[in-house]
Structure 1
């Protein structure tokens, strides 16, 4: 009898022990069992150390050991695919999955199914990162059909939720199974837990439940901090949702700080949701501070990033916001050029997923409406009788705006519907439909007051602002009792006047910076440490300078990172520089 040694898994101890193979048939079964054990370990089932690739390769020398050779090749590719996903490198993850797919036919049946399930989950997440929601959903559902009990099924479930959120299908979103996170999750499980919380936060924000959105986004950021979920850009979505909440509350400096710290990582390899929200918000902040050149620079960068990553949705968002900014500056020709580019882009997106098509169409409708209103205003200014209404209902498609508003509300995006409603009010005014404009505005103010919406209404157009001011002063009397709205509307106009009378464009005043720092809760010691970090000092050098222990510096640094919602020294110094707290020196570095 052949005295060849093979291995079998000790079911209780989880280790491999040598034994003599009694027969070749039994050897084949053992090989298949070990192969499956190796793949299961690659799929995060078997604890590390229970079987090694070297041991499986040794099986190739025993009888029918060919499947083990395939697993030895699959194992690093599978690990690499997940590693690329954690790093938000979707294209590389898809390439690894494709390589694995070509080897599945050489694996035993049960193992092949497990690997197919894993590949489908990888592909679903990667396609979601590439903003292909339709293909991502198909891959995620395939993964769940193949193995809903697999340890990485939580990835497919998160992808399903993400797609349903993008589609505005909250019934399906909430119907997806939710699995309780582990007490000590691995990095992959921590990432999906963070994304699930971030998606919940984004939904609450879209419904203008700002307090709930803040709590959920904070929980998501806490998961990312505690478990080191990945690169800084991976928590961009919850950070941007939190920043949007802060912005609507008028806490502009804190809002900028959250996003600015993540912008370099978003440029390098972030997901599209963080890019759309992050660039858009930073451009709004720059415009709010009367820094149009900086805002347009950010939007041009977003457009270029969208071209590089093949993200038409990001490009559409950028072009629509550029139209808005050019219109605000009375640069109608530049606005028309951006609108024309957006029209071309919208015509090229027939192959995009339905959710992307809807959003691109939304940006297109809004840009066209803004351009038409600007052109109507220009015509009115040139008329001999400027008080005469310009009937632009043919130029501004009121029916399209109304339908877009209705569709956006049906997709449970009340926050997105606010911008459309403001534009609709303006279009109705210009078209001479004043009563309808007032009625639409009052309905919007009632929703905004109950939700605590602030900054978006403060930044409304001059036409809409005059209408709100008329309601506050009593020169315009809407149908129905609006007395309960007057304090809120008055506060909006007061805030708007303060913003108009603010100091010249540029950077914030020292008082504003101090207020921002105080709001973040930085102590004097923490401010001193972040300042020395900005000058490039190491922790040991800071300790010597402040006459404290290096461990104390590390402790203060950790508190700093938490308060600033950043991950490391580089992000903290970058953010502090944005706020004017430090001046970066040539020797600034990320020493610990």
Structure 2
């Protein structure tokens, strides 16, 4: 099973079970329980979380407690998370740290920590997710876990780095794990790793490379029998086509995805739910690209609310930014600004930055203006929005000031920043501009706030990176 030879492994289990009549009953009972548990592990590797959970619970009902309870607990934790049964998930006992692990206990602990990290990310507890993923990586390193299993926390760590805006570092982690994922990884690893690899290539404008990455992933999904991975790749390919303005091809791809979803109507639990979600999201995006309208935005809004109702706050935050852009483009600016601002406070406040740098640029300035408004209760998030705005401007700068960048500062602030860049002290600036030193200090504080810096040197350096000096 670790080598992903599932048909052979399940065939061996069946051969063992056929011979149980020839051994003493007490031995047969233990072997039957072990075979049932191994089958559940195989189902989990096949991305069928519902069947894996049912097999694990059946093992407990039929055989009671055993030395393999940690494996059963991990399978249940995986199933409850993917099925959204978080009350049952949190009711399960956690692995306690030990001075010495058996390999079996260590692997279960590593997977448990990774699942908990994924749950924390779903709930926008980014710092907790980072800590749990790091702990899982430490267990993997200490116990020399097989590369395919160790890739689980590695891919989560890479996704967290990506969302914080560290694209190259995240991409390097995934790139190093791809051979292990292809050889013996789990579906969850493959979905996260290939999504991230394609997304980074797309952000760099390397559309051909992104398409190759998605094609490789789709072939892996077909080979392993992972329909969720195939559907995830189809959704990303549709987004690539829409980026390139190839709307008709995107519509054909949506129809292909619909047919693929129809070919997997039952089973696979979480996988089936995700395939339907990918298909729905693809429909929403293509319908919007074909005819931006209130009706198309309303369909996207319904998807957003369903996602929030499932308590998938991470996915909801990404959808909120996309939906806010749609609403703003059709003149629904009040709803767009309110939705975007909530996403800023919940998502960016938790540490998710990349989604705002991908799709939130035009809305960041309005969010800043809203927070800056006199008497606003939201002024506490000004440094955060200012930092995001600066990063967005830096990514889109051509090396000289443009309208987007210049609008960050007032004319007076821009003028004072130029004097700071010339090395002038406050009194010198006041004399040249014929204003009081206190007024200069006030404007400098505003410049620091808008550029998300703390010193004059940092302000000059940030201004140069933005093309302001």
Does the TM-score normalized on the shorter chain lie above 0.5?
yes
| Distance in 2, Cα, partners of 1:333 & 1:472 | 37
CA distance in 2, matches of 1:437, 1:347: 34
**Aligned-pair CA distance for 1:150:** 1.8
Distance apart, 1:199 and its partner CA:
0.7
Structure 1 equivalent of residue 343 of structure 2? 444
* 1:279 Cα offset (Å): 0.3
Larger Rg: 1
Q: In the alignment, is residue 490 of structure 1 matched against residue 386 of structure 2?
A: yes
CA shift for structure 1 position 158: 0.6
Cα deviation code 1:264-301 (max 9, x no counterpart):
11112210000000000111111222211111111111
2:272 paired with 1:357: yes
Evaluate the alpha carbon distance shift between residue 124 and residue 182 of structure 1 in structure 2; reply closer, same or farther with a 3 A threshold: farther
Q: Which has the higher helix share?
A: 2
C-alpha displacement of 1:254: 1.6
Q: Provide structure 2 residue ranges, at least 5 long, that are not aligned to the other structure.
A: 400-469
Report deviation, 1:194. 0.8
The answer to whether the 8 Å contact 1:391/1:432 transfers is no
Q: Quick one: which of 237, 248, 265 aligns to 1:322?
A: 237
How many Å separate the matches in 2 of 1:167 and 1:98? Answer: 28
Q: What is the CA–CA distance in structure 2 between the aligned matches of 1:446 and 1:186, rounded to whole Å?
A: 43
Aligned length: 399
Check conservation: 2:48, 2:270, Cα contact below 8 A.
no
Q: 1:170-569 residue pairs with structure 2 within 5 A?
A: 170-180=86-96, 183-230=99-146, 232-376=147-291, 391-393=293-295, 396=296, 398=298, 400-460=299-359, 464-473=360-369, 481-501=377-397
1:480 to partner: Cα distance = 6.6
8 Å CA contact retained: 2:371, 2:382: no
2-side partners of 1:298 and 1:490: how far apart? 34
- d(CA) in 2 for partners of 1:434, 1:442: 12
2: CA distance, partners of 1:179 / 1:236: 20
Q: CA deviation at 1:434?
A: 2.6
Contact 1:194 1:224 (C-alpha < 8 Å) held by counterparts: yes
Structure 1 pair 502/208, CA: closer, same or farther in 2 (3 Å)? farther
For residue 130 of structure 1, report the CA deviation from its aligned partner.
0.4
Paired with 1:182 and 1:118, the residues of 2 have a C-alpha distance of 25
Distance in 2 between residues matched to 1:109 and 1:478, nearest whole Å: 80
Q: Is the 8 A contact 1:392 1:430 kept in 2?
A: no
Q: Is residue 124–residue 346 contact of structure 2 (8 Å, CA) maintained in 1?
A: no
Q: Which residue of 2 aligns with 1:87?
A: 3
| Alpha-carbon offset, residue 311 of structure 1 | 1.1
Relative to 1, partners in 2 of residues 1:269 and 1:337: Cα closer, same or farther, differing over 3 Å?
Answer: farther
Q: 1:159 to 1:216 in 2, by over 3 A?
A: same
1:99 offset after TM fit, Å? 1.1
- Asked whether the equivalents of residues 91 and 126 of structure 1 are also in contact (C-alpha less than 8 Å), the reply is no
Equivalent-residue separation in structure 2 for 1:368 and 1:105 (angstroms) = 54
Residue aligning to 2:34: 118
User: Closer, same or farther in 2 for the Cα pair 1:362/1:502, shift >3 Å?
Assistant: farther
Contact 1:373 1:430 in 2 (8 A): no
| Cα offsets for 1:338-386 (capped at 9, x unmatched) | 222212122222113332222112111211111122222xxxxxxxxxx
2:197–2:210 contact (8 Å) kept in structure 1: yes
Change beyond 3 A, Cα 1:422–1:347: farther
The aligned residue for residue 23 of structure 2 is: 107
1:176/1:127 CA distance change after superposition, 3 Å: same
How far residue 101 of structure 1 moved from its aligned partner, in angstroms, is: 1.0
SS at match of 1:412: coil
RMSD: 2.4
- Give the Cα separation in 2 of the matches to 1:468 and 1:346: 37
**Deviations, residues 506-548 of structure 1 (Å, cap 9, x unaligned):** xxxxxxxxxxxxxxxxxxxxxxxxxxxxxxxxxxxxxxxxxxx
Q: Distance in 2 between matches of 1:317 and 1:158?
A: 25
Aligned counterparts of 1:235 and 1:405: Cα–Cα separation in 2: 33
State the TM-score, normalizing by the size of structure 2. Answer: 0.79
User: Structure 1 pair 274/246, CA: closer, same or farther in 2 (3 Å)?
Assistant: same
